[in-house]
Structure 1
Amino acid sequence: MRRDELLDAAEGLLCDQGSAALTLAAVADRAGVSKGGLLYHYGSKEALIKGMVERLIEDFDELVAAQPGETYTERYVGATMAAVRSGRLRRWAVVTSASGNLFLLAPLREAMTRWHREGLSEEPDPLASQIARLACEGLWDVASHDPGLNSEDDLQALEARLRALLASTA
């Protein structure tokens, strides 16, 4: 789809050159379209950033839904580990850093609120579930700044420990 190609180009530009390089002309050039073609889909830089943020949220929601697990927190842990392993975190870091406008990040704040409250009252131990979700956020944040910090063995051990915490409260 054309919109995804444009968002990919914008994210790639952010990863390679930083937020100062994010201009509509640079994104259009990287995507191989005219600036008018880009403006057809995203009428402003803010609309482009909003599109990237919304896509990140949708991607994570889909990742959570695709994970095995009886509870939302089990699926959340699996989705976080999958995101860390796949390198998706880099996308989050660059997209969220691209916006100095809190309005553009409002959908992300709303998603974070939803992700941390979703099904919490139905969990066998809501406090253990909250601890696991917050640990995932910490891992996510650290891994976005230092992707090589944890080996696959480390990630497996962290995931096993989080899952054991959840299982011990079931």
Structure 2
Amino acid sequence: MTTQPSARDRVLSAYEDLLIGDGPRAATLDAVAAAAGVSKGGLLYHFKSKEALTEGLLAKLRGYAELDFAAMAQDPEGCAKYYVRTSVFGDTPFDRAIVAAHRLIQSDDDAVRHVFAELHARWFELILSDIGDPAVARAVMLLGDGLYFNATLFGFPTVVASPANAQEKVDVASLLEVVDRMRSGTRS
């Protein structure tokens, strides 16, 4: 027996869906309520305003990020490799929260921008604790961010092992080898 998500969770999911699919302008309170299958009064019971709805999305994003930070800190291959390996868009709940929040940045939402700055600072701290060199840690972050950006923008598929057609797929395993070379300071 599956349990139905709460009305609050349905509202947040509907807000994410509208932000991802149609953008911030389309994610009105009326549209979110309709997509969630609740009345506008039901939506307002959980979220008093659109700002409160955004705060709910950001709280959800922070919750997923905390789980990610914990997994990253415990990864046996290290924080740097974890960051690159997991910077592939997988349409997970965390990915969806990230993309939805990114859509809000397009409408100049400073609260969202602030949360992303916090998250990036935490990822950077973890990578730096693993790598030890700020410039290399920043390069690892940019590598991971580039992977994520390209996957969300262009839909590049990724593979763990060497791909049959390297021009069409991003080989994450080869990028992890690059992280090892960056860590050791060797060039090839």
Q: Which of the two has higher C-alpha Rg?
A: 2
- The one-character-per-residue Cα deviations of 1:145-164 (angstroms, maximum 9, x if unpaired) are 112x2442424344433443
- Structure with the bigger RCO (C-alpha within 8 Å, sep 6+) is 1
User: What residue in structure 1 maps to residue 45 of structure 2?
Assistant: 40
Instruction: For residue 35 of structure 1, report the CA deviation from its aligned partner.
Output: 1.2
User: What residue in structure 2 maps to residue 130 of structure 1?
Assistant: 138
- Which TM-score applies when normalising by structure 2? 0.71
Instruction: For residue 136 of structure 1, report the CA deviation from its aligned partner.
Output: 0.6
What percent of counterpart residues are identical?
A: 31
Which runs of 5 or more structure 2 residues have no equivalent in the other structure? Answer: 164-169
Aligned residues: 166
User: What residue in structure 2 maps to residue 115 of structure 1?
Assistant: 123
* Structure (1 or 2) with the greater helix fraction: 1
After the TM superposition, which segments of 4 or more aligned residues of structure 1 sit over 6 Å from their partners?
none
In structure 2, what is the Cα distance between the partners aligned to 1:144 and 1:105? 19
Structure 1 contact 80–140 (Cα < 8 Å) conserved: yes
- The one-character-per-residue Cα deviations of 1:28-76 (angstroms, maximum 9, x if unpaired) are 1111111121112211111112222332232233234335335332332
- Which TM-score applies when normalising by structure 1? 0.78
User: What residue in structure 2 maps to residue 27 of structure 1?
Assistant: 32
Query: Aligned Cα RMSD in Å?
Result: 2.7
State the SS of the aligned residue for 2:90: helix
User: What residue in structure 1 maps to residue 66 of structure 2?
Assistant: 61
Which runs of 5 or more structure 1 residues have no equivalent in the other structure? Answer: none
In structure 1, what is the Cα distance between the partners aligned to 2:77 and 2:138? 16
* 2:110 aligns with one of 102, 107, 111: 102
